[in-house]
Structure 1
């Protein structure tokens, strides 16, 4: 009989727990509204600037698809998500969203109808934005053309296919308030910090992630991986072996070719093209802030002997460079002057300790951007086999860093081939 109170108490606690979990995993819908259509032109200009700074089109516009209509696949460790339509279409976009519904999504990751958004949408960073910037972005998005584009079905693995579980992720990792200026720093530094940590959400790619997809505590901007590319550390950029100067970083962020670092490729390419559409003062502010960040760790590399760096590979690599690369990147190539093609030994990807970004660039190239000037490079994934790519990479790495040959070319290349499949 004495066990009865125990079971009654356990049942009460279980009921309370179930109620608490239900409340945690449930959010009310916000009533739909008629799409607002009248906005001040100055506000729309500000909103366009916020949307560019937030890289909204980078994720919400698939290649060849309508602007901001979604459909871009986002590959995560937990499955594939498809970005959603954020045009003002009332059925498939955000045309029925009020400003409070939009702000809730930006700060809390909750859709208008109450369902949880996956944290691939960087609301963890957007919650640090000012209310004014969120309102301006809302105005700009509502002023654009409505595109009917139903959402594609996500393919997430268990248990992340259960959206309510995102509530527990939020409980652990959704913290922080809108940024306030640091009085001891310049206006430009504070603007750069705001753009990097708020709308730009740079840490979303340039930070390592933990086992459940959140940025590792204490490792913000220390380097990560996105879409098979290495997103390098943004710490101590002016104090590394291939150090960045202020003018170089500003140009690189604006998608230009920079002597000593090359040009942005892979997932950074569309980001840099968005930054190029911002006022140059914003990009200068980002560069000032990033170059102020100290390095947190110093890694001394002592490479082992490279089995792929033999004399035969060097000869083969030199021949491959002469036939496939020298027309644009050789010392006497006209494109070095006409289109500012860089010397490959002075690019960040060949200076990096890991060959992944160089191999990915050779694999995928640098696609041309329709209607915009800038460098382009064809992909070589189909025209060069593994042995040729290893020989070329080994040869060029020896030109760039003869003291630090790459030791993992074969394994990295095989991993990239598998990812491509």
Structure 2
């Protein structure tokens, strides 16, 4: 036998050995023990005050939003989350003993929330924001457990995910966690006051605001270097919450409080889409907590540094509000007069809450027209922002008509450059919304 085949075989064996060791090492790192199942707690096993506190936390964390299929049983799972890696369906978190968490101990629940590991030891996909929930206190996690385990059990088998091999191998999530999960409860900043720290705890932990408002890297982790810089989520552009936010008027503490408490402000408009669900979820939080969130995000957005030109901006917006209220030759102006002016026209000294001023709305001044197009197509429901107020959908308009309307509003209400390829963008949004 010549020397070359011997060398080749040794190299091959060495490579195979390294692969085996690597796989064994990965699974050693990934292995987590199962936690013994329990008998489902009896009704009345948890104190009423714990359940009540847990209900508030579940609302603040929007648990029902992601764990409920539209029209389905609350918390029974099955909600489809479309990611860059495939569709992941949320799980059943009712206390059903077979398909839900009825046989999960509190220790198993806490481990899932903090480490992203299920009761049986399998790793959860980071579509579940355990990277935020790891910051939640023991007290709050215990109260949340008490609330969920007190719900009505509902049998709902898990729906299959569409994440392809090898990304669907749960053990690989351990590598993701080594790179991106920073475990540990929220640590207060001693240089900040109590309200700021409470707002930071809610935003970074329970309410996981960065999950929607922070862009992600190639493997789906939030980019720490771009916290709250804005991202696309559920077909909506979640705007930046930093000073890069495009809103003409600063999001002051008072504006943030009003928006998060009521779902709308006269200066910024109404919550719609995913953000409307956020406002509904926060509705059970006490005023002090909403105020704390406002304090925190006013600081994140450097509102104090942006608030000097409010009168000039407001006067300019109200002056532009009259554009399109007279018959003009522009096609977009004609559409605005026919379909929009009756509800969106404002005059000095200030816009009205029930008449959102388009010149002040971030959907019109942002770099991406997606939010404006979606609102035009689908309208605003009575249960979105302002209670009882609504905007009808205009999906019957053609792509070219909606594009001309958006171009007209952008040109007459903002000083921003025109959006490119608007008609194609309208067609794209319409196609994504209908799934065709």
**How much does 1:108 deviate?**
1.0
SS at match of 1:218: helix
Q: CA deviation at 1:348?
A: 2.2
Worse-superposed segment, 398-407 or 260-269: 398-407
Paired residue for 2:34? 29
The 3 A distance-change label for structure 1 pair 327 and 63 is farther
1:5, distance to aligned residue in structure 2 (A): 8.9
Q: Output the CA distance in 1 between the equivalents of 2:263 and 2:29.
A: 47
User: 1-10 or 284-293, which moves further after superposition?
Assistant: 1-10
Which whole-Å CA distance do the structure 2 matches of 1:226 and 1:283 have between them? Answer: 23
- Residue 291 of structure 1, CA deviation: 1.0
User: What are the superposed Cα offsets for residues 372-408 of structure 1, whole Å, 9 maximum, x if unpaired?
Assistant: 9343333322x11111101111222233204543334
Structure 1 residues 349 and 43: CA distance shift in structure 2, 3 A:
same
Unaligned runs of 5+ in 1: 299-311
**C-alpha deviations, 1:120-156, integer Å up to 9, x for none?**
1000110011111111100110111111222211122
Corresponding position of 1:416: 429
| Structure 2, unpaired ranges of 5+ | 307-326
Partner of residue 249, structure 2:
242
- Cα shift at 1:47: 1.0
Of 229, 232, 244, which residue of structure 2 is paired with 1:225? 232
User: Partners in 2 of 1:373 and 1:11 — Cα distance?
Assistant: 64
1:125 aligns with 2:125: no
Determine if the alignment matches structure 1 residue 375 to structure 2 residue 382.
Answer: no
Task: Please show how residues 22-421 of structure 1 align to structure 2 within 5 Å.
Answer: 22-37=27-42, 38-236=45-243, 241-293=248-300, 315-331=330-346, 340-369=354-383, 373-381=387-395, 383-420=396-433, 421=436
Contact 1:79 1:156 in 2 (8 A): yes
The range that moved more, 405-414 or 347-356, is 405-414
- Whole-Å Cα distance in 1 between the matches of residues 425 and 329 of structure 2? 19
TM-score (ref. length: structure 1): 0.87
Report the CA distance between 1:16 and its aligned residue. Answer: 3.6
Match of 2:309 in 1: none
Whole-Å separation in 2 of the counterparts to 1:162 and 1:248: 45
How far 1:67 sits from its partner (Å)? 1.3
Cα–Cα, structure 1 residues 314 and 150, in superposed 2: closer, same or farther, change >3 Å? farther
Distance 1:77 1:13 in 2: 31
- How big is the shift at 1:288? 0.4
Question: Structure 1 21/238 Cα, relative in aligned 2: closer, same or farther at 3 Å?
Answer: closer
Please identify, of 257-266 and 315-324, the stretch whose mean Cα deviation from structure 2 is larger. 315-324
Structure 2 CA distance for aligned equivalents of residues 65 and 42 of structure 1: 28
- Superposed CA RMSD: 2.8
With over 3 angstroms needed to count, the CA separation of the structure-2 counterparts of 1:188 and 1:374, relative to structure 1, is farther
Q: Matches of 2:182 and 2:297 in 1, distance apart?
A: 23
Distance change (3 Å), C-alpha of 1:148 and 1:255: farther
CA deviations on 1:307-356 (whole Å, 9 max, x unpaired) are: xxxxx997222221222223433449xxx97x823133332212323211
User: Alpha-carbon deviation of 1:367?
Assistant: 2.8
User: Kindly tell me: are residues 190 and 284 of structure 1, through their superposed partners in 2, closer, same or farther at Cα, counting changes over 3 Å?
Assistant: same
Contact 2:328 2:334 in 1 (8 A): no
Aligned 8 A contact 1:257 1:341 in 2: no
Distance in 2 (CA, whole Å) between partners of 1:258 and 1:51 is 25
Q: Distance in 2 between matches of 1:284 and 1:349?
A: 25
| Matched residue, 2:311 | none
Secondary structure in structure 2 of the residue aligned to 1:81: strand
Contact 1:313 1:391 in 2 (8 A): no
- Residues in 2 aligned to 1:379 and 1:69: alpha-carbon distance in whole angstroms: 30
How big is the shift at 1:255?
4.4
